[in-house]
A and B are shown apart, each in its own frame.
Chain A
């Protein structure tokens, strides 16, 4: 998990660096045009544009490489990404040195833009690597200044901006170089101190998060064990009450029958609740759910069977609209059937007599959208974000129906998320609700 987050954030930051580089390219071109045409300082533009093209080409290559890297999901991705970031920053330093060389060398005040590279390095790389990059920048600058000073490289004079011959002035070179180098190292020191602290904090947050996840798992295991035990006992209690209620053990008088019926009903409710608890803990704890291709049409039909009588008793009509081409999808059929049945059961439960329920399944290319709408009591606006929480029941739902586990939608959410799908609801209190499930069609 920690590994995964590290990869994600490092890759994300490299994407950010690539975006920054596009911006820098536009910035450099604009500056060249402005300096040449507005400030009328003569610039030798050909080599400058050459460097910019070089910058653009390697940025494009990096982008393509990064996209490929992301898809491949190599195990040593962090290492590769780190090396990759190092190479990019070194190349950037080289490009900037070349740009500066072709536009005045040490006389060009843009020389201090190296600071930005130092800050970027401190964010992306380790402290040691950042200092190495600062050293590399120092070497590049000293080489450039030295080579220009000794005339091995030609000096490009910024006419009208700096004094002629400044690049051979020893005192000037020494002064600028000292300030330049100390600025680089100080920038690395400060930026890496801050980013180190942030990194540490990020790490401890991740650790805390892992710990919480582990605790949650332990809790689920505990719930699973306890509810399993309770269920066994409840099953036995109900199995013993049933024959008595049915009069198999002899005729009961009215009072006996009434009390037994109450007992059966209550154990039934408790059993239902415990089963829901078991189910949600089981889904949470299971690492893998067995999946296969199954018929969505048949699954919807089966799910509907489950609520048919209840709907008829309340004179609620059910309407279906399933896209004709839609059938086989990938998933755990039993779970999807149960989820759809669950949503439909909710619709029946919270819709008053003579209401309407509609179920639509729409083909959305790679996914399928299942839409379940009712003309029920709806969900109060401020409670909508909470309805998928475990044990949460909307206030008006509790008012209408005393019984309910508050687990149905939580289970549905778990199931849909295990299928890499999405579930959400739109609702207006008093008018009805629409639940949406978006499921990927294939693996």
Chain B
């Protein structure tokens, strides 16, 4: 079954996501910071990453996503971004590569998490792969 890594500094959110995904049989691990997340990815490459935006810094999640998508070894891992900021950021997830504001994430889910939405998005991203 697919391996999923959750990178979020909120242990309760991590636990909630874990419960939901494990119920579907996924193999879930977690990291409490962007830095720890990057290390874990290097040790054991996951099939999908669920990534929070605000961690050590307000945009650590963006930074992690950019690092991963620039690395040939990891660019193929789909990233599902967790965000509490709905549309306010004006983020357009369909922007072309090369744009400076380009955000290399594949999809996003909003906090608080709706279990069904999370599952369907995870399934879709893994299927695509």
Contacts and interface: CB of A to CB of B under 8 A. Distances in A.
Q: Do A and B come from the same complex?
A: yes
Interface of A: 231-232, 234-240, 242-243, 246, 248-249, 267, 271, 290, 334
26 contacts: A234-B112, A235-B13, A235-B84, A235-B111, A236-B12, A236-B16, A236-B112, A238-B112, A239-B16, A239-B17, A239-B111, A239-B112, A240-B15, A242-B16, A242-B114, A243-B16, A243-B19, A243-B115, A246-B115, A246-B116, A248-B23, A248-B115, A249-B19, A271-B112, A334-B87, A334-B88
Interface residues of B, number: 19
Contacts of A246: 115-116
A422 B80 CA distance: 40
Contacts of B88: 334
Nearest to A268: B112
B67 interface: no
B90 interface: yes
Contacts of B15: 240
A76 to B, nearest CB: 39
A334 B90 contact: yes
Contacts of A231: 84
Interface of B: 10, 12-13, 15-17, 19-20, 23, 84, 87-88, 90, 111-116
Contacts of B84: 231-232, 235
B23 A249 contact: yes
A290 B90 CA distance: 10
Contacts of A242: 16, 20, 112-115
Nearest to A244: B19
A181 B97 CA distance: 82
B118 to A, nearest CB: 9
B105 to A, nearest CB: 19
Nearest to B114: A242
A238 B113 CA distance: 7
B23 A243 contact: yes
A87 to B, nearest CB: 52
B41 to A, nearest CB: 23
Given A232-B10, A290-B90, 12 more contacts: A235-B84, A235-B112, A236-B12, A236-B13, A237-B112, A238-B113, A240-B16, A242-B114, A242-B115, A246-B116, A267-B112, A334-B88
Contacts of A248: 19-20, 23, 115
Contacts of B114: 242
Contacts of B87: 334
Given A249-B19, A334-B88, A239 B113 contact: yes
Nearest to B18: A243
A232 B13 CA distance: 10
A262 to B, nearest CB: 16
A224 to B, nearest CB: 14
Contacts of A232: 10, 84
Contacts of A237: 12, 112
A238 to B, nearest CB: 4
Contacts of A243: 16, 19-20, 23, 115
5 smallest beta-carbon distances between A and B, as pairs: A238-B112, A236-B12, A239-B16, A235-B111, A235-B112
Nearest to B84: A235
Contacts of A238: 112-113
B13 A239 contact: yes
Nearest to B12: A236
B20 to A, nearest CB: 5
Contacts of B17: 239
A282 to B, nearest CB: 8
Nearest to A332: B90
Contacts of A290: 90
A235 B20 CA distance: 16
B83 to A, nearest CB: 11
B111 to A, nearest CB: 4
Nearest to A250: B23
B23 A240 contact: no
Nearest to B11: A236
A242 B90 CA distance: 27
A243 B88 CA distance: 27
A243 B16 CA distance: 7
A437 to B, nearest CB: 20
Contacts of A334: 87-88, 90
Nearest to B110: A235
A246 B91 CA distance: 30
A411 to B, nearest CB: 12
A318 to B, nearest CB: 22
A42 to B, nearest CB: 80
A246 B90 CA distance: 31
Contacts of B113: 238-239, 242
Contacts of B20: 242-243, 248
A249 B15 CA distance: 12
